[in-house]
């Protein structure tokens, strides 16, 4: 019989706790704290993410139902709804932000050699944002209009492994294009974006840094064709042109040349792409933009499987703390999946962890057996009900 750690404690062992302690010391997170430390707060919030808790009362009831196992989960303080609420309101959210980035750096190294789907060795990122609607009376700091409020989660997704390389949380009224000012361009990397990020001055900053961008052009784009390159129309390509901007202020923002590619997809829609990469095959540019949908799938996944649509606190600090801990849990599960070389999806791993946090089973054996059962499929002797 296995007499080791609980499943939840084994999951948390994959996190770099020396980095967490350093960050707590940096931001004085445990200053004047007697019983409920930043580590206790993180473990409670991570437990809520993994087990789909819906409220502070739900977290408290679930953990207090197993009082003899709390020590073995790693909790040293007394778990209470008020203590967790005060911690979310008062502890600096930057502790969990930088801790999540430490996990992200580790995960990106693990997934660096994953296939991209196209023959391209350079890093490829997809930039987009998702909006989480809130109640204006409870979250006045996130006001968008007199009657509505929202927060935006801006994400730069590394398309190798679907790991977020950059996350920024803002009020809903902040326009997406402003996030380009916060990025540190990666020379040689590709940034794939939609039309909301079409700002020629900001795109020129990416160009000067040695980065490449691929995005859709707006319908009112005014440019002058300099020359065209031959294309294979059987692949859906319509034209591949080198252009320069005609509007005065646009040319002030981006004085160089751009490449415009027209493409007809399988549904008959005509799409126009802009890029500053002049030598990559035109069809590869179109395929790069198709990969942008991975960031949409990422947003859909985290909204369905993590607790970021209902918040446990109403202050800006509490909201950012909850979102950053959710990101940390997502990346931690991705690290476990890679290090244990599991064929299971992240959703399947989360489902298993959600019902076994208090079990004393080897984590690798638990997940490997589940993967084996998944490959085996249903019993052929089992009768169908319908």
Structure tokens at 279: 């030598």
- Residue 118 to residue 188: CA distance in whole angstroms: 16
Q: Looking at residue 352, what is its pLDDT? A: 94
Ramachandran quadrant class, 146 (left: phi over 0; alpha: psi -120 to 50; beta: rest): alpha
Q: Which of 128-132, 332-336, 364-368 has the lowest mean pLDDT?
A: 364-368
pLDDT (average), residues 98-104: 97
Cβ atoms of 172 and 149 within 8 Å: the answer is yes
pLDDT at 372 over 80: no
Residue that the structure tokens 């609607």 belong to: 133
Residue that the structure tokens 């408290």 belong to: 60
Run of H or E including 282:
helix 282-290
Cβ atoms of 220 and 285 within 8 Å: the answer is no
The band of 3, judged by pLDDT with boundaries at 50, 70 and 90, is: low
Percentage above 70 pLDDT, the chain: 96
pLDDT (average), residues 165-191: 94
Average model confidence (pLDDT) for the chain?
91
**What's the burial of 193, exposed, middle or buried (CB within 10 Å: 0-12/13-18/19+)?**
buried
Q: How far apart, in Å, do the first and last CA atoms of the chain sit?
A: 40
Q: What is the DSSP string of 185-242?
A: --TT-EEEE-GGG--HHHHHHHHHTT-EEEEEPPTT--EEEEEEE---GGGTEEEEEE
pLDDT at 379 over 60: no
- Residue 43 to residue 328: CA distance in whole angstroms: 11
Q: Where in the chain do CATH 3.30.1370 domains reside?
A: 195-288
The band of 2, judged by pLDDT with boundaries at 50, 70 and 90, is: low
* Count of helices and strands (H, E) across the chain: 14, 10
Q: What is the DSSP string of 67-84?
A: GGGHHHHT--SPP-HHHH
Rg (CA), the chain: 24
- Tens digits of residue pLDDT in 192-215: 999 999 999 999 999 999 999 999
Q: Looking at residue 375, what is its pLDDT? A: 58
- Picking from 46, 51, 37, the residue whose alpha carbon sits closest to that of residue 86 is 37
- Tens digits of residue pLDDT in 223-279: 999 999 998 888 899 999 999 999 999 999 999 999 999 999 888 889 999 999 999
pLDDT (average), residues 15-39: 94
Could you count the other beta carbons within 10 Å of the beta carbon of residue 310? 10
Q: Looking at residue 1, what is its pLDDT? A: 45
Q: Looking at residue 266, what is its pLDDT? A: 84
Could you count the other beta carbons within 10 Å of the beta carbon of residue 13? 12
Q: Looking at residue 383, what is its pLDDT? A: 44
- Residue 58 to residue 52: CA distance in whole angstroms: 10
pLDDT (average), residues 341-351: 91
The band of 32, judged by pLDDT with boundaries at 50, 70 and 90, is: confident
pLDDT at 281 over 70: yes
Contacts of 79 (CB under 8 A, 6+ apart): 36, 40, 44, 59, 60, 63, 64, 70
Structure tokens at 68: 């003899």
CATH architecture for residues 195-288: 2-Layer Sandwich (3.30)
């Amino acid at each position: 019989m296995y007499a080791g750690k609980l499943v939840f404690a084994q999951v948390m062992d994959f996190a770099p706790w020396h980095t967490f302690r350093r960050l707590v010391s940096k931001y004085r997170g445990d200053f004047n704290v007697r019983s409920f430390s930043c580590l206790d707060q993180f473990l409670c919030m991570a437990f809520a993410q993994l087990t789909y808790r819906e409220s502070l009362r739900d977290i408290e009831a679930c953990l207090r139902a197993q009082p003899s196992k709390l020590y073995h989960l790693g909790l040293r303080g007394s778990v209470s709804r008020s203590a967790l609420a005060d911690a979310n309101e008062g502890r600096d959210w930057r502790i969990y932000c930088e801790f999540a980035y430490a996990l992200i750096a580790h995960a990106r190294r693990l997934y660096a050699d994953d296939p991209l789907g196209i023959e391209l060795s350079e890093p490829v990122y997809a930039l987009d944002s998702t909006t989480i609607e809130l109640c204006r009376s409870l979250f006045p700091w996130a006001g968008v209009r007199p009657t509505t409020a929202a927060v935006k989660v801006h994400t730069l997704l590394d398309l190798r492994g679907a790991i977020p390389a950059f996350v920024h949380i803002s009020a809903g009224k902040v326009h997406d294009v402003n996030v380009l000012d916060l990025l540190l361009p990666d020379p040689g990397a590709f940034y794939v974006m939609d039309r909301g990020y079409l700002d020629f001055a900001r795109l020129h900053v990416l160009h000067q840094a040695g980065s490449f961008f691929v995005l859709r052009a707006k319908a009112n784009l005014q440019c002058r064709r300099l020359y065209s390159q031959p294309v294979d129309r059987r692949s859906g390509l319509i034209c591949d042109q080198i252009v320069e901007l005609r509007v005065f202020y646009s040319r002030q923002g981006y004085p160089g040349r751009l490449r415009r590619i027209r493409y007809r997809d399988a549904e008959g829609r005509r799409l126009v792409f802009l890029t500053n990469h002049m030598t990559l095959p035109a069809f590869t540019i179109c395929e790069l933009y198709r990969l942008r949908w991975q960031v949409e799938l990422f947003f859909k996944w985290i909204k369905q499987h993590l607790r970021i649509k209902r918040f446990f606190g109403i202050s800006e600090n509490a909201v950012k703390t909850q979102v950053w801990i959710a990101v940390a849990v997502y990346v931690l599960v991705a690290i476990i999946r890679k290090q244990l070389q599991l064929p299971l999806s992240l959703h399947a791993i989360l489902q298993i962890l959600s019902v076994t946090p208090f079990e004393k089973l080897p984590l690798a054996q638990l997940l490997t057996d589940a993967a084996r059962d998944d490959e085996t499929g249903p019993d052929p002797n089992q009768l169908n009900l319908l």
